[in-house]
Chain A
Amino acid sequence: MSTIGYDSWAVDLAEVGPVYPFQGSEGLMVVLGVIFWIAWHRIQFVREGEHLKKAKQMGDREKIHSLLEKY
């Protein structure tokens, strides 16, 4: 048994279509991929929010002035 559906390359390539593993599970793969993508945005929003909250309190007036001068 092979995950790609072929145990051997003793085939006529004119009759071969997809050769990726787990053919027939494309829908599931898309669901997993979309979960990964959406989860990434969620994590990113939360972390950036936390970071900005902390960053708001960080600035030292003198250092900010020198940064503004630096352009």
Chain B
Amino acid sequence: MDGNLNALTTVFTEFYYWVTVVFMFLIHVGFCMYEVGASRHRNHMHTLMKNIMIIPLVTVTFFFFGWWIYWAFPSFPFFGGLNHDAGSANLPWSQNMGTNLSDRITGVFWAAFLLFSWTAASIVSGAVIERIRSSALWVHAVMIGSVFWIIDAAWGWHAEGWMVKYLGYHDAYASGVIHAIAGGYALGVIMVLGPRLGKFAADGTPRDIPPHNPWMLTIGIFLIYSGFWGFYAACNIPAISPEGIGGLITGETWTATNIYLAPTSLSAITFNFLMSLSGGLMAAYVVSRGDAFWTFSGGLAGIITASAGNDLYHPIQAMLVGAVGVVIVYKLHYWVERTFKIDDAVGAVAVHGYSGVVGLIISGFLLWGAPSSPYEGFAAVNPVGQTIGAVIMFGVLGWLPGFVIAKMQAAAGVLRIPEEVELQGLDYAEHHAYEDAKAEIIAADKAAVNGGGVPAE
């Protein structure tokens, strides 16, 4: 860090990403609260543990190979080989992946991506509550969090990704690369897993399974909103010079950029985040006739639908895109539920998957002809490229692996919990131990009060 300005820029960038990571932790807290609030009392602890253990499992695997995939796969396998130069600096045995005073950015940048990985896995976790085996979900968490989402990030969320270069793929705040893929993956898993017992009546009519604690759900989703601010900031490069970008931009003016190193600003994304949140909330309130949980989820779906283009949209465009997306997603959710008997327990496939797909397609029209990259030779943003991108994210890298891996788990008999356990509740054994321990200590205390002496220490 020679020179004051260089030192300041480096430390600012390091601190910037660090702060986004802390904010994004709230997304995971919110997902945990949402899932526990949505599950029934007899499944609480398992539901919570299922989601909490995503944190260490995805973290260590993202350290071992996920981060390397991002740097090695931008052209692989269709448009070139592995990028060994960039990849080797991010292998777990590289000296950059540790305390190293000549590299002050890799750790915080790795962590920002890692928190996206947790989010992807957590989205899947919500859809499968109350009937999946934790061991099966944790394999899915590693696959979506440290393999499939990061392949799609290398292809479509990297300055040199082949989807950006040849399709003009543009997905600034991850409508597709996080939400569509995770929603698609969740759909693949729940198609094999099947609905919760009692979700559908004998004639196939879907039943509502209300959350046991609506307030926990509410706080959960508000925490997800809060964490989403960090997510948005983490998708930007905070300050970089045209020389640092090394592309076509001329002059000396520094800028914030999106992940493709194309110019945007924090001001733009602040406008658009809030307006798309508002458009989503308003539309969801109307379309769901004031259903509290769809309204809250609609805020999230509004942001997700507008996210692909929120680096460039006008705030009113962001609001209307968010609103239109929510109406489509809400209708689609119930149509899929009724027609295919799919039990998406927290609406994850709809709020993340369908919103992501709709957002990508809309952005292809609204940003038609905009440069996808500051470098020469890249395709411009266009509706065909965005639609193909949506199919790759939701279908090829999301739904397909989720379905195939769940099929393998089902064939091995390790996907779903036994029916008896589902009925008595996943926490049945723990509840018993808790009640027994409680009864024993109460009896001992009573004996002491009645003159039987102080209970043994």
Contacts and interface: CB of A to CB of B under 8 A. Distances in A.
Q: Do A and B come from one complex?
A: yes
A2 B317 contact: no
A14 to B, nearest CB: 5
Interface in A1-46: 1-4, 6-16, 19-22, 26, 29-30, 32-33, 36-37, 40, 43-44
Contacts of B92: none
Contacts of A20: 312-314, 317
A21 B249 contact: no
A22 to B, nearest CB: 7
Given A8-B371, A36-B282, A13 B251 contact: yes
A36 B253 CA distance: 38
B316 A13 contact: no
Contacts of A33: 316, 319-320
Contacts of B289: 47
Contact of A3 (B247, B366, B373): B366
A7 B371 contact: yes
A70 to B, nearest CB: 16
Q: Most chain-B CB neighbours within 10 Å: which of A3, A15, A19, A20?
A: A20
Q: Most chain-A CB neighbours within 10 Å: which of B253, B279, B316, B369?
A: B316
B320 A32 contact: yes
B376 to A, nearest CB: 8
Given A13-B242, A22-B314, A33-B316, A7 B380 contact: yes
Contact of A44 (B279, B286, B369): B286
B115 interface: no
Contacts of B320: 32-33, 36
Interface residues of A, number: 30
Contact of A9 (B248, B279, B290, B317): B248
A41 B323 CA distance: 15
Interface string B368-387: 11110110000010000000
B74 interface: no
Contacts of A36: 279, 282, 319-320, 323
B367 A21 contact: yes
A42 to B, nearest CB: 10
A16 B367 CA distance: 17
Contacts of A30: 316
Contacts of A40: 282, 285-286
B253 A21 contact: no
Given A10-B248, A32-B316, A36-B282, A3 B368 contact: yes
Interface string B261-299: 011000000000000000100100110011000000000
Nearest to B309: A21
Nearest to A15: B251
Nearest to B251: A12
Interface in B348-377: 366-371, 373-374
A16 B316 CA distance: 21
B323 A1 contact: no
B250 interface: yes
Nearest to B252: A14
A26 B313 CA distance: 12
A16 B251 CA distance: 11
Given A8-B248, A36-B323, A43-B286, A13 B313 contact: no
9 contacts: A2-B371, A3-B366, A13-B249, A13-B255, A21-B313, A21-B366, A21-B370, A29-B317, A44-B285
Instruction: Across the A-B interface, give the 4 residue pairs with the lowest CB-CB distance, nearest first.
Output: A2-B369, A12-B251, A10-B248, A20-B314
Given A2-B380, A14-B253, A29-B316, 11 more contacts: A2-B371, A4-B367, A4-B370, A10-B248, A13-B249, A13-B263, A20-B312, A21-B370, A26-B314, A36-B323, A43-B286
